[in-house]
Structure 1
Amino acid sequence: MDNRKRKSWADYDIGRVEYKDGLTKFVKLAFESACDVTIACPCSKCVRYHRHSEEEVYDHLVINGPMRDFEKWYTNNELGSTSTLLGDGQVLQEKNVADDLTHMLGDAFGFHDEIVNDASNLDGQVDSDIDNQQTNDEHMNSNVDMFNKLLQDATMQLHPGCSEYSRLSFILHLYHIKNSFGWSDNSFNEILKLLKRALPEGEKLPESLYETRKIVDEISLSCEKIDACPNDCMLFWKDKATDDTCSLCGESRWKPFVESSSKASSRSKTKKEKKFPIKVLRYFPLTPRLQRLYMSSKTAEEMIWHDKDRKKEEGVLRHPADTEAWKKFDSIYPEYSSEPRNVRL
């Protein structure tokens, strides 16, 4: 008789009813909390490297069984913000939105969990002692001020009595929808006005898209805009940053300015016209993006997954680490490859 102690449905043999019942609940929950029609499949073959539909994920888990360390991933509630069913009626409670955002901000600004946990109390007020826990470095202090402000927004109710959204979480959701569906700037401003009239008195929404962007930009990774030649000959950068024409083809950097005669006559001749570039290159610096990946406790684990948790099988290609190029690089640079956090691009 099998007397093994089981914590969840994944501990049962694949053919058992307990396994199939738990699997059905797991797949349903996973896709209810997913942001897409596919999720990273946690079967022993895909090991979350390949994404599949609900039906395919179910079939894979029936045929292949769950991946190694599935229980650790499962019980850490990495399905999303919803609760996770473990079997035998045990449930991991849904995380509070404010707590999720607090830890997200802690990761983004590189503050340790103990500082983040001490930073806010039950009333959603920021503990000013966090300033005393940092160094006197000016850059660090500016980050602390920004962190404090965002932490206030993360713990502030959207309106009195609202437990579903904080001010910051609602702003981030609304801004994400704008970008996903291509809302114009004017339409976003009008929606903000409508929401401010519809929500109860005391709502904390920003007044405009401009104010919304100022909040979002504080936790975003910015890009650098560099004007380019319309014919892609050169960039107006470094020693060429102030040039008006391309040094190779002679093409103007700026869009031609067209103005009606009536406006031209009324405009002051001394006022400098604003110029608009014809073509702009957006440069996304790599270093801060890699740093952000290692600041987050969750993504830091994913960055070293290829070394710690990848299932290594000869003749099976499921990750770039399985390729001959990767293996050859490791053999040429053993000191570099010995540190799993080193990134290969």
Structure 2
Amino acid sequence: MEKEWLQFDRFKDEYRVGARMFVDKARADYGNSEDEIICPCIKCRNSEHHHFEIVYEHLVTRGMDPTYKIWICHGETGSESNHEDLEIPETYKLFKDLCFQHDENDEDDEDVDDTIETREAEILNLVREAETPLFFGCTNYTKMSASVALLKMKARHYLTDIAFDDILRTSRSFLPEDNTLPESLYSMKKLVKAFDLGYEKIHACVNDCCLFRKDLQHLENCPKCGASRWKLNESSSKIQKGIPAKVLRYFPIIPRLRRMFAITETAEQLRWHSNNKSQDGKMRHPVDALAWETINRRWPSFASDPRNIRFGLATDGFNPFHDLRSTYSCWPVILTIYNLSPWLCMSKESLMLTLLIPGPKQPGNDIDVYLAPLVWKDNLFPPTYPPSPYPIPPF
């Protein structure tokens, strides 16, 4: 299909003629009984059907979505070389795996194909919306990156919701008319929330005695110290049932590992340790350490499969409130994947935040209570994976 008309200004005759030819061809080949076609403008982004005249108007007033390179929704198939050059965004790969991981056993066989096709379209629209430039020609920010940057600024400077909405309205007036910056804090949170990887809230004893999970999930008081599970109102000394006194935030490991193994390049990187052990006796990576050899000897079945993950765990306390007068201590727990090469295993992208232990005081020797969700027996793969024949080493 001819695309040269996209190089012209939207108000030039060449652009309008090209847009008219595009709309007429799409109407003839893919229009429905009401002469509606999929609109590829920068705002509709192939997610809405409109009358072909409205689509033509959108293309002239708004412009074509710049991320829509191959017009697959309008009949273009492309050559093999085009498909080889087409790079699927990493965002799409990760988000696709996240969306499908909970649906694998929920559908009947006859509904699987329809469900997959529907979810594929939803995911593609979400990713395309997130990766749309902030305005036509903008290369520094996308709709998603601008939203994340502004939300970070809101948190750093303690801006109120009303003040933030005012900033958004003013910022939109500075930008070109076709900008994609969300109009309100609610819209911005809704966009970011769609890509939330999620975490679990686990109630904890205020004295760090236990987590209210598994057998203790329905208890109202700590079985060890008797402290209430719920928050105590300091002014009235009444228990506020339903409001937990302490909450541990747990970011599940398995979904992230599944996403990593779903990408060919990353799956190969996770086997780096099996072929790159030092040959001169010098230690350049944990694979060259004595501890690694000890694990291999003690659990040979586990060591025989290079895909098995070896983690390093690190934690430390910090004050999240930027106030030196406060003694509040919050403890994030970070996992490092030692399967990766030295230049990857310690990179920011490879560090996995798995637990966020709340304050106000440090957990001390009771930190093992909070590490319980990380025990591998609690993180067995779901039934979609065949059971592993290898013994599980203790945590």
TM-score (norm 2): 0.44
Structure with a larger share of its residues in helix: 1
TM-score (norm 1): 0.50
